[in-house]
Amino acid sequence: MPKVGVVLSGCGVNDGAEIHESVITMLFLDRAGAEMVLMAPNIDQLHVINHATGKEIEGESRNVLVESARIARGEIKDIVDVTSEDIDALIFPGGFGVAKNLCDYAMAGADCSVNPDVFRLVSEVHSAEKPIGVICISPAMMGKVMEKMGEKVSLTIGNDEQTANDLITMGAKHVTCPVQEIVVDKDKKVVSTPAYMLAGRISEAADGIEKLVKEVIDLI
């Protein structure tokens, strides 16, 4: 039974992990017979967004690990306690939490930096030649990690011109991709899919994520 790490970035699309993408990922991993190792960094969120209004809630603070535990039903690890030896593959669902909490791409664009604990685990897993799946906006984070490691990788975020240009600035190759499909860099063992960068319906996001999960497991 393969062990697949899933890195969450909070709970809610605007300030944490995209809940649909996270649950879909977990569902298809379970259907594939994989054991999941759910994790998140033990840090404060950048900010808290009222998802009913889309506005920031002033003066409120939430913890990424605590919020991610909602999606994980409490079965979650602090990412500092996970190494590449504990897992066979790694997957990042999307959501603004990736671009605000796991890295600061939402604020800094191509000049972003990645949370040190996230960078450590991604670089460990990649150096061990284990597959990594990145969903939605997560390829922006992956592009920065690979840039810092001095490697080039093929990724997709769908067809958003600004994000694609940022990936290219980081040294990645961006591949335009429809929502139901995936881009596979077999040499680097990195798989990406647009999901809600393009999806108008949950079923559209699910089609691409199902293919991503299957490909990640096949690459183990």
Q: Where are the domains of the chain?
A: 3-218
What is residue 10's predicted lDDT score, i.e. its pLDDT? Answer: 98
Phi first, then psi, for residue 83 (nearest 5°) are -120, 170
pTM above 0.85, yes or no: yes
> In this structure, what DSSP letter does residue 3 have?
E
pLDDT digits (tens, 9 = 90+) for 92-148: 999 999 999 999 999 999 999 999 999 999 999 999 999 999 999 999 999 999 999
Which residues of the chain carry a pLDDT beneath 70? none
CA distance 52 to 50: 5
What is residue 128's predicted lDDT score, i.e. its pLDDT? Answer: 98
CA distance 219 to 216: 5
Query: Domain 3-218, what fold?
Result: Rossmann fold (3.40.50)
What is residue 44's predicted lDDT score, i.e. its pLDDT? Answer: 97
Which of 11, 103, 136, 177 is an active site residue?
Answer: 136
What is residue 169's predicted lDDT score, i.e. its pLDDT? Answer: 97
- Mark whether 103 is an active-site residue: no
Cα→Cα distances 220→82, 125, 165, 212, Å: 18, 11, 30, 13
Asked if residue 89 lies in contact with residue 67, where contact means CB atoms within 8 angstroms, the answer is no
Q: How many residues does the chain have?
A: 220
Query: Closest Cα to residue 136, out of 104, 91, 85?
Result: 91
